Homo-oligomer: A and B are copies of this chain.
Amino acid sequence: MGRSADYSNEKCAIAGALYVVGEPWTLLIIRDAFRGFSRFEQWQKNTGIARNVLAARLKRLVATGIMHTRPYHQKPLRHEYLLTERGQSLKGVILALYGWGQEHVYKDRQPVLTLRHRQTAETLRPRIYDEGTGSRICLQDILFDYNPHAPSLAELYAETDSESMA
């Protein structure tokens, strides 16, 4: 999406996130990384994504600091792709997409995913609360107040190391 849609005048962290992860296939590649995929052939086989598109997406995920590479074979040299901490923290985005897609696309079907706790293995039903008051929040109660003085993405890019933004 970054290349094809120009979000650079946006003064918005949502656009900032989409600039990095909004290209077609990118969020599905990240989804599969949470499943343990780390090698080109795993993604290629699972998604059927064209090889040149997959190579371009992985390259950009490394350039934007979402993934890093690690050699797993010497001759010939082969790298695998692993989520960085910055990439790991996209799990909330994947989770929100899952919640909506299960409710509104898969509807009354068996859940596509079961969410489990890493340590206890119990099934989780994530809900939102407010850290300040400790109260549960309904999404419809959340209003977004925009800060009119926020810099645009283009302004941020101009100031920031292109490595972490590109």
Binding site for B on A (CB under 8 A): 1, 4-7, 9-20, 22, 24-25, 27-28, 31, 34-35, 47-49, 86, 88-106, 109-119, 122-133, 137, 139-147, 149-151, 153, 156, 165
A112 is contacted by which of B12, B94, B95 (Cβ under 8 Å)?
B12
Q: Is the Cβ of A28 less than 8 Å from the Cβ of B10? A: yes
Q: A20-B105, A27-B22, A48-B9 are in contact. Are A143 and B117 (CB under 8 A)?
A: yes
CA of A70 to CA of B38, assembled, Å? 48
A14 is contacted by which of B97, B111, B116, B126 (Cβ under 8 Å)?
B97
Q: Is the Cβ of A142 less than 8 Å from the Cβ of B91? A: yes
